[in-house]
């Protein structure tokens, strides 16, 4: 492999990859071919691998380039065939334009979004090459423009030959940390397209993001030097490097992107990020994400949730059977809840037929404290389903066994959530670096409602007004990165908040990013898990709400954001009210309507879990 240093390029063999004690994050340990290193494989008394003194070097993954025998052979063939005119450019894309700086080659599946069909189509699997090329605009030798070039080949046949603007943001894919979605233009006719790359491993996706950032800086630096030559100004010295991150000489580190623009008008807690107009209940159009999908594949059916099972099928505490409507009558008489019901429906992503349902929920009764405990969880990332399942299976018992459960439910819920998060972070069988889950846990005892919220799942109450009409009352507030208090904390911790604006004028959601990397792109400011996001200021402390349930309350509804993304609080209350107390019908209707709105806006449908409790 090759290590790209600030003033030199070193080659060697990878001996170690993982976390270290001398600095946080993932590091690559390399045994160099020449004695240009700094150690013998040990740092500060801890040995990570063995080699001769001054042959060992540790570097970040983004400055390490993996080389192979096949790659050397391919580069050699390209150089030999540059003068062979009969060779098709598609077979040797690298010979068409000279490369500036280093190149990244990685295996990936390539998708293109078909706007007329409103769906994704797979171009094929092959080798993706990302580099900076010099494009000649006219007959003049000096009239060249640097471009971040993306080329993909399969069996020496070109699949894509595009360039990407330096202002382009890579959008992470829903439910995966191995894919990026972005806009690009064809080199032949500058035709704009939306492409998606799905890599074999999360590390490949991280390497692609880091190399893309370096390519963008190479283009900016090249243009800056060209302008200085035209104006006669001197070339400025290279920007100083920090934190041991080595970059190509003369290329400054990527600056943080501009902050999101202020939207006109304040958005209150009831509308959250959806900017709901109370007059007509119209949700302002906003792009949730660009997600990989393909031909339509039917999603799994609705799964009824009860106190005997959860959305993932594991057994819970045994309760009596439900009635014909699917309701479970509350066995305790000391609570205002009369019945409750929950269902979960797996979404679909046509590119991934075996997609897991990343949602989870539970519904429990505790006879000793005469309480009912409800919870919904929305996992995200490649291992999000494992995180949500772990929390759903282990939190209820931890709450019921907590010494403060009988006297202070909020203390018991908070401690249980944080304790189980610590357990899962120490559980090496579940990768939580880029995976996590939201959580909304509600305890109802007599007429007191205690809610703990982490993330962007939501709980609302439906209250009757003086005209006997049901109106929503938001209990929780979505933890979005662009909330002033949340954004202030994130930026104070060294992270940044940024939302992408697309060519069609539709904004993407605000996301959390590391200061110097295009990771993790989390669309919430609090979550359980997400170790990388914790370094950018994301926390797991639950926000606690306590209310006395008023007499005019008709029901509560708690759900994951698969429901709330394209439906307002007023919409949800309206559909539940129309079901006339039939919870099964209400949830099925909500899921059907939510799925319809998803398909109108996105080529995928998110998992949706809904729990309704009637007073």
Whether the Cβ atoms of residue 496 and residue 485 lie closer than 8 Å to each other: no
Whether the Cβ atoms of residue 417 and residue 439 lie closer than 8 Å to each other: yes
Pairwise CA distance, residues 509 & 288, whole Å: 6
pLDDT of res. 573: 95
Nearest Cα to Cα of residue 392 among 475, 444, 316 = 316
pLDDT digit string, tens, across residues 33-80: 888 888 888 888 788 888 888 888 888 776 676 654 444 444 444 444
pLDDT of res. 3: 60
CA 459 to chain centroid: 22
pLDDT tier for residue 455 given thresholds of 50, 70 and 90 = very high
pLDDT of res. 333: 65
pTM: 0.56
| DSSP H or E stretch at residue 421 | helix 409-426
pLDDT tier for residue 280 given thresholds of 50, 70 and 90 = very low
pLDDT digit string, tens, across residues 475-500: 999 999 999 999 999 999 999 998 86
Please tell me the least confidently modeled range out of 87-96, 146-155, 382-391, 401-410: 87-96
Pairwise CA distance, residues 251 & 263, whole Å: 35
Which range in 107-116, 147-156, 398-407, 516-525 is most confidently predicted, on average pLDDT?
Answer: 398-407
Rounded to 5°, the CA angle 562-563-567 comes to 125
pLDDT digit string, tens, across residues 87-128: 444 434 444 445 566 788 888 888 888 877 777 788 888 888
pLDDT of res. 123: 84
**Phi/psi at 545 (5° precision):** -130, 135
Pairwise CA distance, residues 337 & 600, whole Å: 36
**Residue 176 predicted with pLDDT over 60:** yes
pLDDT of res. 257: 36
**Residue 406 predicted with pLDDT over 90:** yes
Nearest Cα to Cα of residue 79 among 65, 64, 99 = 99
pLDDT tier for residue 22 given thresholds of 50, 70 and 90 = confident
pLDDT of res. 329: 64
Please tell me the least confidently modeled range out of 114-118, 205-209, 420-424: 114-118
How much of the chain, in percent, has pLDDT values that exceed 90?
34
**Residue with more model confidence, 391 or 248:** 391
Mean pLDDT of the chain: 75
User: Domains (ranges, CATH) in the chain?
Assistant: 2-65 (2.30.30.190), 69-85+93-231 (2.30.29.30), 295-478+526-614 (3.60.40.10)
pLDDT tier for residue 199 given thresholds of 50, 70 and 90 = confident
Long-range CB pairs of 222-228, under 8 A, 24+ apart, other chains included = 222/100, 222/132, 222/146, 223/146
**Residue with more model confidence, 85 or 510:** 510
pLDDT of res. 154: 74
**Residue with more model confidence, 488 or 234:** 488
What DSSP character marks residue 13? E
Mean pLDDT of 380-393: 92
Sheet-wide strand order for 520-522: 496-498, 511-513, 520-522
**Which residues make Cβ contacts (< 8 Å) with residue 392, sequence separation at least 6?**
310, 312, 360, 361, 362, 375, 377
């Amino acid at each position: 492999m090759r290590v790209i240093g600030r003033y030199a390029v070193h080659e060697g063999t990878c001996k170690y990859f993982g976390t270290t004690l001398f600095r946080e994050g993932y590091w690559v340990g390399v045994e160099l071919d020449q004695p240009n290193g700094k150690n013998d494989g040990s740092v500060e008394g801890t040995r990570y691998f063995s080699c001769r003194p001054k042959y060992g070097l540790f570097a970040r993954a983004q400055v390490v380039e993996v080389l192979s025998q096949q790659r050397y052979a391919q580069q050699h063939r390209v150089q030999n065939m540059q003068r062979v005119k009969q060779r098709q450019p598609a077979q040797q894309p690298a010979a068409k334009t000279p490369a500036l700086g280093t190149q990244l080659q990685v295996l990936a599946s390539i998708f293109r979004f078909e706007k007329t069909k409103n769906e994704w189509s797979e171009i094929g699997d092959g080798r993706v090459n990302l580099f900076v090329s010099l494009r000649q605009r006219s007959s003049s030798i000096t009239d060249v423009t640097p471009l971040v070039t993306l080329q993909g080949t399969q069996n020496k046949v070109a699949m894509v030959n595009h360039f990407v603007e330096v202002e382009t943001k890579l959008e992470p894919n829903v439910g995966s940390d191995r894919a990026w979605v972005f806009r690009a233009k064809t080199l032949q006719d500058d035709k704009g397209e939306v492409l998606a790359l799905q890599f074999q491993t999360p590390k490949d996706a991280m390497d692609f993001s880091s190399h893309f950032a370096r390519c963008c800086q190479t283009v900016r630096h090249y243009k800056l030097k060209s302008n200085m030559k035209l104006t006669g100004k001197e070339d400025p010295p290279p920007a100083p490097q920090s934190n041991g991150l080595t970059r190509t000489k003369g290329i400054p580190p990527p600056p943080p992107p501009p902050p999101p623009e202020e939207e006109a008008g304040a958005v209150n807690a009831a509308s959250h990020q959806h900017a709901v107009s109370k007059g007509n209940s119209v949700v302002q159009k906003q792009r949730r994400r660009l997600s990989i999908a393909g031909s339509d594949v039917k999603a799994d059916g609705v799964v009824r949730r009860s106190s005997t099972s959860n959305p993932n099928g594991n057994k819970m505490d045994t309760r009596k059977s439900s009635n014909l409507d699917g309701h479970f009558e509350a066995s305790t008489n000391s609570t205002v809840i009369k019945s409750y019901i929950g269902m979960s429906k797996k979404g679909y992503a046509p590119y991934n037929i075996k997609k897991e349902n990343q949602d989870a929920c539970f519904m429990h009764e505790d006879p000793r404290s005469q309480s009912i405990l409800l919870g919904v969880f929305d996992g995200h990332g490649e291992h999000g389903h494992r995180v949500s399942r772990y929390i759903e299976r282990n939190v209820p018992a931890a709450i019921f066994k907590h010494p403060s459960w009988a006297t202070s439910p909020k203390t018991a819920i908070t401690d249980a959530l944080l304790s189980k998060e610590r357990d899962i972070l120490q559980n090496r069988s579940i990768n939580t670096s880029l995976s996590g889950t939201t959580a909304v846990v509600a305890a109802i005892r007599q007429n007191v409602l205690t809610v703990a919220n982490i993330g962007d799942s939501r709980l609302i109450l439906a209250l009757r007004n003086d005209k006997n009409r049901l109106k929503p009352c938001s209990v929780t507030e979505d933890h979005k990165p662009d909330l002033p208090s949340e954004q202030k904390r994130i930026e104070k911790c060294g992270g940044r908040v940024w939302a992408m604006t697309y060519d069609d004028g539709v904004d993407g959601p605000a996301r959390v990013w590391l200061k110097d990397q295009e990771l993790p792109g989390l669309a919430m400011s609090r979550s359980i898990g997400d170790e990388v996001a914790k370094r950018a200021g994301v926390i797991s402390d639950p926000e606690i709400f306590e209310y006395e349930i008023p007499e005019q309350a008709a029901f509560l509804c708690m759900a994951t954001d698969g429901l709330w993304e394209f439906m307002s609080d007023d919409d949800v209350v309206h559909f539940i009210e129309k079901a006339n107390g039939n919870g099964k019908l209400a949830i099925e209707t909500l899921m059907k309507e939510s799925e319809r709105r998803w398909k109108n806006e996105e080529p995928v449908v998110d998992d949706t879990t809904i729990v309704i409790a009637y007073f």
